[in-house]
Structure 1
Amino acid sequence: MADGLTIGQAAAYVGITIKTVRHYHRLGLVAEPERDGSGYRRYGSTDLLRLIQVRTLAGAGVPLAEIGDLLDAEPERFAAALDDVHHRLTERIEELIERRDTLHRLSHGDRALLPDRACAVLDRLAGLGFSTDYVAGQREALVLARALVPAVFDSFLTRLEHCLGDPEYVELTKRGWDAKSWDPDDPRVEELASALADKLLANRALLAMPAGFEKQADAASRYGLVNHHRDDLGPSIARLNALIEAHLRAAGIDVPQQ
């Protein structure tokens, strides 16, 4: 002990690796001890103290590039620097907590991409007997609406919530989903579109677009991507949606049109 410790012993005493000690030397954070007569570098208590200080600060999240100046700073500057590190670590912790919560929401499906209110609507659809495929389509439409037309999202949810309270509308909507197997020229498509449009027009206030929405250059494109999502399931679905929009426009409702 009188002659000091080898680098391996010093690293073991401090709780780091030899590679880390050498890295600290390369960065100038810890001075390399002089070699003894045998050509070995021997570490004394002062060297160990410095290694412990560097290891502790690094473990607390202080960037290695800042540790040297920090250890050589006056007490006031040292305290201020630690406050700054504390602030950055707090921000990092908050970011990690947010990521953890996102992962938790991902494990619960819809709740990663949609607010609780929208998830409640989806649960309600399932409870009303809508097919799994239909609920999945509505989930996708809600995700798209929230991302592409956020100004319309809340009103869209309000309209859905209101419509789901009408048993006749619910049955008509279920028929609309079944219509994907119909021929697009089937007269039932026109009849169904007219009935659904009438139901929607019974509450015209719920169909109003937010002020200024249509003035956006790409408003119609964004709205169309949401409102015509899954039209590709079949030509009858596409025609049904187009007919409903035509009925609404004929009744004076401003439906964005590409």
Structure 2
Amino acid sequence: MASGITIGQAAAFVGVTVKTIRHYHRLGLVDEPPRDGSDYRRYGSSDLLRLVQVRTLAESGVPLSEIGALLGADPQRFAADLAEVKRRLTERIEELTARRDSLDRLVNGDRALLPDRACALLDRAADLGFAPDAVAAYREGMLLAKALVPEGFDDYLTEAEHALDDTRFVALNKQCWAAKDWQPDDPRIEELATAVADRFLANPALLAIPNSLQASTDATRYGLLNHHGEEQAPAVARLTTLVEAKLRSAGVDIPHQ
């Protein structure tokens, strides 16, 4: 009678697949047992023990590339190596937990991407009667500002707070949003641009531009923020350009594109 069991039986006993055992062999984690007279490899008790050890360590999170050295280490080294594996697993668990928590926050929309202060401004804009698509555009602007000028984001939010405190400016802002459906040559655009520029000049707090955007070398970042989405609204593009021109003519330093 042949001594030992076949690879299929060994796989069933250990709780892995035949393919996994052969992979262990290729990596040198488990020596291939000798073949019997029928050219079948026969696995004995020592082979099964080694398979169980490798499988257990692998399932515990030890990389296969480290298992060979781990099993060959003395007890003290074995314990130290396992402690290191545990440390790495703990870091991985914390990382995955943070990702899971981020996904949970996504259920609440903006709060996963913007600080509470910014979310409060978006809520306030909605309460003031801004249309949902307008609030969505403000959200995009905040996300861009946070990414492009993180060092000036608090200033950006302060400017937004000043804007929502100014009832006249809020009314003008709603008109500006309605202008996206106008034709670019609509004469009302010139009138609206004058009204907006006059309001900026009457309330200088509305003109606060983060210091990080004031340098002429940062005109690109300023343009990405202040002209975001205009390619889809030619009338708004003309309105913004007119407002900026009027403010420059009044002596306000606004970066050129």
TM-score (norm 1): 0.85
CA offsets per residue over residues 21-45 of structure 1, 9 Å max, x none?
1111121111122334444333222
User: Percent of aligned positions with the same letter in both sequences?
Assistant: 65
Q: Whole-Å Cα distance in 2 between the matches of residues 29 and 122 of structure 1? A: 58
Determine the structure 1 residue equivalent to 2:230.
231
Matched, 1:128 2:156: no
Q: Which runs of 5+ in 2 are unaligned?
A: none
Residue 69 of structure 1 and its aligned partner are, at CA, apart by 0.9
Corresponding residue for 2:119? 119
Structure 1 residue aligned with 2:28: 28
CA shift in 2, pair 1:255/1:136, >3 Å: same
Q: SS in structure 2 opposite 1:86?
A: helix
User: What residue in structure 2 maps to residue 72 of structure 1?
Assistant: 72
Q: Which AA in structure 1 matches 2:226?
A: N
AA aligned to 1:220 is: A
In structure 2, do the counterparts of structure 1 residues 194 and 142 end up closer, same or farther at CA, with 3 Å as the change threshold? same
Moved over 6 A (4+): none
Change (3 A) 1:164 1:100: same
C-alpha contact 2:152 2:212 (8 A) present in aligned 1: no
Residue pair 1:29, 1:68 contacting (<8 A) in 2 also:
yes
Q: Answer yes or no: is the 8 Å Cα contact 1:194–1:247 preserved in 2.
A: yes
Q: Distance in 1 between matches of 2:46 and 2:106?
A: 51
Give SS of 1:164's match. Answer: helix
Does residue 41 (structure 1) correspond to residue 46 (structure 2)? The answer is no
Deviation at 1:52, TM superposition (A): 1.1
Distance apart, 1:67 and its partner CA: 0.7
Match of 2:150 in 1: 150
**Structure 1 residues 243 and 28: CA distance shift in structure 2, 3 A:** same
Root-mean-square deviation (CA, aligned residues, Å) is 2.7
Q: How does 1:92-111 map to 2 (within 5 A)?
A: 92-111=92-111
Distance 1:116 1:25, change over 3 A: same
- Matches of 2:185 and 2:3 in 1, distance apart? 98
Does the CA-based 8 Å contact 1:149-1:223 persist in structure 2?
A: no
Q: Which of 118-127 and 53-62 deviates more?
A: 118-127
